[in-house]
Amino acid sequence: MFPRRTLLAVSLAAALLPWTGAARAAWPERPITIVVPYTPGTSMDTLARTISPRLAQRLGQPVIVENRPGASGNIGTGYVANAAADGHTLLMTVSTFVMNPSLFKSVPYDPLTSFVPVGQVAVGALVFAVNPAFPAATLDEAVKAFRSRPGQYAYASPGKGTPQHLAMELFKLHAGVDIMHVPYSGSAGAVTDLLGGQVQAMILPANTALGLKQSGKLRVLAATQPRRIQVMPDVPTLAEQGVRGADVDLWFGMLAPARTPQAIVTALNREINQVLATPDIQQSLDKQGLTVASGTPEAFGQLVSTEHARWADVIRKARISAD
């Protein structure tokens, strides 16, 4: 028999531990919801639906993907920011997560304080392309053409404030060119008019451009990443061609509401990384133009912080607003 005082001390110590073995075992105690703040069929929606069945198997609870689109992702993001911090509601997001606070007068979240990073999941490659009729076979020739007729050529984007829009504005700043922006309501119309020659240039996802490049309908002049893209090894990067500081890709990651217990964040990061390490998941994402980019919560948090500052500066200098 233990003395009563010893038993009381042990009981109090256990009660004071915020995340004991019993508490750990209780999570997840019900289905987990991954909120995608964009419509079905978008890259982050496909990404969430690709990993959710495997994650459910590993966690022993259903993992539901719920689309909450609207206001360039702000509606769904704000919903998760205000959700219970218990590890049962997560956010799958993309680069716009850090861009929107500088684009809109008001957003329902702070990218640095409303969430805790779980981990980066993937990256999507972007490329700089022109219509084949445009008088440039290289990026250098394109820059010279743009400079010869300031504001006379146009580029398309899927909409004001989208990553493609901001990537082109970053390119303009570093290349010293003036190209008119023509925003569309989505990628389909933008790509259609690029192929038709109504606009001359566009930055777009590599997986979208690949087939059009192979068929000769588009001329891809540069990859916007620091390294060449595996599916287009013949296309040099912006930096290789003298435009430095304009590197951009689409990054995707998972976040949880602020104050989610660290043990849950660690467990989620570990299980998601295990799912991403499986060859069939990697192959599936590769077919969608995405590359696995797993890592620690700390590394993803640093990426969010760095990208938030970077895009705030670009948006300010280019005087861009989504309102």
Answer yes or no: do 203 and 262 share one domain. Answer: no
CA distance 283 to 44: 16
Answer yes or no: do 142 and 35 share one domain. Answer: no
Q: How far is CA 90 from CA 70, 122, 204, 265, 294, in A?
A: 17, 16, 28, 10, 17
Residue type, 280: D
Which of 188, 213, 241 marks a domain boundary?
241
pLDDT of 9 > 50? The answer is: no
Choice among 16-25, 68-77, 224-233 with the minimum mean pLDDT? 16-25
Choice among 11-15, 60-64, 260-264, 287-291 with the minimum mean pLDDT? 11-15
Q: Determine contact, residues 87/297, Cβ cutoff 8 Å.
A: no
Average pLDDT over residues 235-241: 97
The CB-side HSE value for 23 (13 A sphere, CA atoms) comes to: 13
State residue 7's pLDDT score: 43
pLDDT of 14 > 80? The answer is: no
Q: Is residue 83 part of a domain?
A: yes
Instruction: Compute, in degrees rounded to 10, the torsion defined by CA atoms 126, 131, 136, 142.
Output: -50
Answer yes or no: do 76 and 222 share one domain. Answer: no
pLDDT in tens, 250-268: 999 999 999 999 999 999 9
Q: Determine contact, residues 121/294, Cβ cutoff 8 Å.
A: yes
Which of 207, 241, 275 marks a domain boundary?
241
Residues 6+ apart with CB under 8 A from 241: 138, 139, 140, 221, 222
Q: Quick one: tokens of 64? A: 């539901």
Q: Is residue 15 part of a domain?
A: no
Answer yes or no: do 54 and 102 share one domain. Answer: yes
Answer yes or no: do 134 and 213 share one domain. Answer: yes
Domain range enclosing 218: 126-241
State residue 25's pLDDT score: 53
**Best CA proximity match to 205, nearest among 154, 249, 159:** 249
What is the β-pairing status of strands 250-257 and 115-124?
Answer: antiparallel
pLDDT of 203 > 80? The answer is: yes
Which is more confident, 41 or 60? 60
Question: How much is the pTM?
Answer: 0.82
Answer yes or no: do 178 and 207 share one domain. Answer: yes
